[in-house]
Amino acid sequence: MFDMPDDARCRKFVDYVVDNFVAADSDFSATLWAHAPDVMPVTTNGAESYHGHLNAEFNAPHPNIYIFVEVLLRQQAATYVTVSSMSKSRTIPRSIREKSARLREPFTDYSTGLQSPD
């Protein structure tokens, strides 16, 4: 906020973002849209991850409607497979568990107040 231009529109936008997404008592606080890193995280935001995978499926900014629907159906099938595989127990390799623990450490430190947001 210190680098923000002295412009009423910028202040209005920043106030909106803080009031709706950043403040602890906001309508859409970080607890709704972000969470601790999981095993092999790409992002802590589920919607961002989904849209990233969806966007990677297209090679044109305005795809044909049939291609778009085909991609959505593939995404739906992949989501069904992911959800059904969550119910099955599986062993996570040690290297992935260790990497996940290393990635989770800064989040835990920040959550407990040991680390400040820099």
- Give me the pLDDT at residue 73, please: 92
Q: 7 and 40: one domain?
A: no
Instruction: Look at residue 89 and tell me whether its pLDDT is greater than 90.
Output: no
Cβ atoms within 10 A of the Cβ of 99, count?
A: 15
Q: What is the mean pLDDT of residues 1-22?
A: 82
Overall domain count for the chain: 2
* Chain centroid offset of residue 84 CA: 21
Residue 1 lies in a domain: yes
Residues 83 and 50 in one domain: yes
Question: Is residue 39 within 8 Å of 96, Cβ to Cβ?
Answer: yes
Angle at 43 between CA 25 and CA 4, to 5 degrees: 55
Domain residues for the domain of 13 are 1-33
Q: How many CA atoms, within 13 angstroms, populate the side-chain half-sphere of residue 42?
A: 8
Residues 61, 83: one domain? Answer: yes
Is 60 exceeded by the pLDDT of residue 39? no
Tell me the pLDDT band of 41, cut-offs 50, 70 and 90.
Answer: low
* 32 Cβ contact partners less than 8 Å away, ≥ 6 residues apart: none
Question: Where is average pLDDT lowest: 82-86, 87-91, 111-115?
Answer: 87-91
My answer on whether 16 and 63 are in the same domain is: no
Residue 69's pLDDT is what?
92
